[in-house]
Amino acid sequence: MSRHEGLEIAPGAVFEFYESKETLCGVVLSVKEDRFNALSERNREVSLTLSRLVHYAKTSLDLKLGRDELVQRLASISDIRKAIMGRIDIEGLWSLLESEEAGYSAEEIAEFIFSTPISDDESAAVNRVLLSDRLYFQAKDSMFYARSAESVDARRIDLQKEAERERRLAEGARWVGAVYARKQNVSPSNSVKN
């Protein structure tokens, strides 16, 4: 079963999607068959399929608002969600769920953190935190699973090795760039003649 099977998406609906490794808010402008056109918080129109959604809210915006107002409201929603993210203790949440084998949706996990009823912003913020976490939780089919303590330790080592590889690559790229820049600064008149 698809994670969005049975989802009825309508114009005005607020949702979140990935673009360039970042979660962005969008509003549905129109729906056509299996695709929908949307406006992102970055004031870009995009054409998407349901598979691109990472969070779908009950919130909707009035499309009669001007484009600038829609973008401003999307940016405001995103800012609220980012602020909520800062209040989520991912390690504490993991320690609460570490012994659980079952997976939980972002909404269910939000219920552990916030008082009910859970708002779209709280649910989306939890979803963002869990999707960005590379250490404590694993995402699979819109569910989040707490890793075991052993898996967290092994994952921490893997992430440290990855960070070191990235640091060395960046250092090597800087060195190559510096060598190339020096080579470009050597003019033919400065060359040694044989």
Exposure on the CB side of residue 87, measured as CA atoms within 13 A: 12
pLDDT at 63 over 90: yes
Q: What is the DSSP letter of 4?
A: T
pLDDT at 188 over 80: no
91, two tokens: 């390690």
Q: For residue 1, what pLDDT is reported? A: 33
Strand blocks (E) in 41-194: 45-49, 53-60, 137-140, 143-146
Which pTM value belongs to this model? 0.77
d(CA 131, CA 142): 10
pLDDT at 192 over 60: no
pLDDT at 193 over 70: no
d(CA 67, CA 20): 23
Q: For residue 115, what pLDDT is reported? A: 82
104, two tokens: 């939980």
pLDDT tens figures, 93-150: 999 999 888 999 999 999 989 987 899 999 999 999 999 998 999 999 889 999 999 9
**% of the chain at pLDDT higher than 70:** 92
The answer to whether the CB of 33 falls within 8 A of the CB of 73 is no
